[in-house]
Structure 1
Amino acid sequence: MLNTRVCHCEWGDPVVNKLDNALSFQQQALGLRSFRQQVLAGNIANADTPNYKARDFEFSKVLKATVAGRPGENLPLAVTSMRHIQAGAANGPTRLMYRVPAQDSADGNTVDMDVERAQFSENAVQYEAGLTFITGQIKTLMSAIQS
């Protein structure tokens, strides 16, 4: 049976805030890595789509802005009717840029599969490293709590 005893500490919210702050950076980095993986997967999936333009974003620049409290650079969409649905966070945490192709293709597609595979693999390794790091942080905190 699971022990469901609740501890009411004298410290209250400051303890929770410190725990949240300790994990916040890695949480934001993992969220951005996850979003980038989706973007790169979309590029790969559209490698044969005529006139598709490969997209990406500068991870380090966006992470710095997110940590500094300036998340997202999405532009608001113009609406011509009050019944239009407003776009918001569903677009992602940042404005995507178009990748500049090394060589033009006949069908106007800018996806370079070598570049996309390399970026996808690197991002996946970075994501796994972030998971390993945050798992280590949580284990250390759990060890400190149980002592």
Structure 2
Amino acid sequence: MSIFDGTLSNIENGLSYTSLKQKTIAQNIANVDTPNYKAKDVSFHQMLEDAKNSSFQANKTDSKHFDFQSTNRTPGVVNNRQLSYRNNGNSVDMDKEQASLAENSIFYNTLIERENGKLNSLLTVIKGGN
């Protein structure tokens, strides 16, 4: 039986997601005036698919076997090449980015509060209920 029952690892995964989302939003905001820049977004579904695909490893038993190629992209980050809001080809919508930033901050703070609550509960148990 585990003390943490998977809660802290789930919170850690959520914090990794919010961190990646924060970096992506910041990158979009920083490139709001860059011509032909395409806004990026973080897709939870894509992160899940990338995690499932990255856990697969092949056992190369012969030197003639092909090596698997890995990509250098960040898992879960997608961009929409079809979309353009401005004449210069830029697809960053500043209002959408600010709303996403606020939503992501709320999600991050909620995860931190949940983690603190879990750790405080464990501290109470360790101290014997005092």
Deviations 1:98-122 (A, max 9, x none): 1464x63110000000000000110
Equivalence map 1:95-110=2 (5 Å): 95-99=76-80, 101=83, 104-110=85-91
- Structure-2 residue corresponding to 1:115: 96
- Structure-1 residue corresponding to 2:107: 126
Q: Is the aligned partner of 1:70 residue 2:52?
A: yes
Q: 5+ residue gaps in structure 1?
A: 1-13, 78-86
Higher relative contact order (CA 8 A, sep 6+): 2
Offset at residue 62 of structure 1 (A): 5.1
1:72/1:95 contact within 8 Å kept: no
Offset at residue 47 of structure 1 (A): 0.2
**Counterpart code for 1:42:** Q
2:20/2:42 contact within 8 Å kept: no
Q: 5+ residue gaps in structure 2?
A: 56-68
2:85/2:92 contact within 8 Å kept: no
Q: Is the aligned partner of 1:52 residue 2:37?
A: yes
Deviations 1:63-102 (A, max 9, x none): 7x38xx63769x823xxxxxxxxx4xxx53x23211464x
- What percent of counterpart residues are identical? 30
**Counterpart code for 2:52:** R
Q: Is the aligned partner of 1:43 residue 2:43?
A: no
- Structure-2 residue corresponding to 1:6: none
Secondary structure of 1:19's counterpart equals: coil
Q: Distance in 2 between matches of 1:106 and 1:37?
A: 27
Q: CA separation of 1:135/1:117 partners in 2, compared to 1, >3 Å: closer, same or farther?
A: same
**Counterpart code for 1:76:** S
**Counterpart code for 1:26:** I
**Counterpart code for 2:99:** A
Offset at residue 48 of structure 1 (A): 0.4
Question: Segments of 4+ in structure 1 off by > 3 A?
Answer: none
Q: CA separation of 1:62/1:127 partners in 2, compared to 1, >3 Å: closer, same or farther?
A: farther
Q: CA separation of 1:50/1:58 partners in 2, compared to 1, >3 Å: closer, same or farther?
A: same
Secondary structure of 2:115's counterpart equals: helix
Root-mean-square deviation (CA), in Å?
2.6
Count, aligned residues? 113
> Could you state the TM-score of these two structures normalised by the residue count of structure 1?
0.66
